[in-house]
Amino acid sequence: MRGTFLFVASVLLVLFATAGGEASGLYYIKAEATQPNGMTGSDTTEEVAPAVGSISDAKLQPDGKLVDVVGAVTHVTQDQFWLELPDRSSGIGVIGGFPQPTRDQIVRVRGTMTTKGLEREIEAVDVEFVSSPPISIKPLAMPNRSVGGGDFEYDPSTGAGQVGAPGGNGLNNVGLLVRTFGGYAGNATASSGRMYYIIDDGSAPGVIPNIGILLDTDVVFRPNQYLMATGICGVERLPIGWIMPIIRARDANDVQVIPPVFR
């Protein structure tokens, strides 16, 4: 038929091998249009997927970059879940993806990097269950002053890296499952209108002296109670402009009142 073109795709996989022989670079696909008489048009090469990398490596990529990571699931909500490396060195939130995993499963996630609020996340296009025994990640305990940590190679122009808590102390731990303690010191309101608790162990001055960190939980507490809080670490900008570290409890068991005798 006149004007008909035959589309022929030739796949070119470009891999940059590590010393251990595993692929650590990017995959590319090369496509070329060919007419029935053998004449060819110009070809095009597109990046289609990266090789498996670490969560820390993924966070170093700018928004929109393709990434491919493996980790243990630490928390699952209706439309999101969090991954963490078994050595507790890095964690990240994942938006969407199907099928949705359950806590402690090992999964491989392919998707693009994005920033939600102040936190780097992966917008998943594919979730694959890895044939491996489940791993229950234990929370990393720390004082209030270490929750959030400092900036991790943060570049506001591209989104690469991860912002930390203002005046953050130590390594960035946004996305990790963490645990801390503190007395109930008040409340703060999120942009969504949701009410957060403020807990303070006296170690983190925060934006205003003697104000510690935010705690997001549905459990109700009374003033002067001392709490043990476990959850996913994040950073949040409040409507008044303050940026504060936050712990997002996964369920009611993640937040417990500490009796006076054990303080």
Global confidence as pTM: 0.80
CA dihedral 152→157→158→161, nearest 10 degrees, is 0
What does the block give as tokens for 230? 């476990």
Quote the DSSP letter at residue 3. Answer: T
Q: Is the pLDDT of residue 103 over 50?
A: yes
Measure Cα distances from 216 to 150, 176, 196 in Å.
21, 15, 5
Sequence-separated (6 or more) residues with CB below 8 Å from residue 153: 59, 60, 160, 161, 162
Q: Is the pLDDT of residue 172 over 90?
A: yes
Mean pLDDT computed over 31-59: 68
- Residues 41, 137 contacting (CB under 8 angstroms): no
Mean pLDDT computed over 220-248: 92
CA atoms within 13 A on the CB side of 242: 17
Q: Select from 2.40.50.200, 3.30.70.270, 3.10.20.30, 1.10.510.10 the CATH code of 55-129.
A: 2.40.50.200
Mean pLDDT computed over 135-162: 95
- Residues 178, 231 contacting (CB under 8 angstroms): yes
pLDDT score for 25: 43
Residue 50, classed as helix, strand or coil, is: strand
pLDDT tens per residue, range 107-133: 999 999 999 999 999 999 999 999 889
Instruction: Share the mean pLDDT of the chain.
Output: 83
Kindly report, as residue ranges, where domains of CATH 2.40.50.140 are found in the chain.
140-262
- Residues 221, 227 contacting (CB under 8 angstroms): yes
Kindly report, as residue ranges, where domains of CATH 2.40.50.200 are found in the chain.
55-129
Instruction: Name the CATH architecture for the domain at 140-262.
Output: Beta Barrel (2.40)
**Whole-angstrom distance, CA of residue 107 vs CA of residue 70:** 6
Count Cβ atoms below 10 Å from residue 256 Cβ, excluding itself. 14
pLDDT tens per residue, range 190-209: 888 899 999 999 886 555 55
Using CB atoms within 10 Å of the CB of residue 213, give its burial: 0 to 12 exposed, 13 to 18 middle, 19+ buried.
buried
Q: In this predicted structure, which of 18-27, 55-64, 178-187, 228-237 has the lowest mean pLDDT?
A: 18-27
User: Tokens 């996913």 sit at which residue?
Assistant: 232
Q: Which amino acid is at 55?
A: I
Biggest CA–CA distance in the chain, Å, is 89
As a residue count, the chain comes to: 263
Per cent of the chain over pLDDT 70 is 76
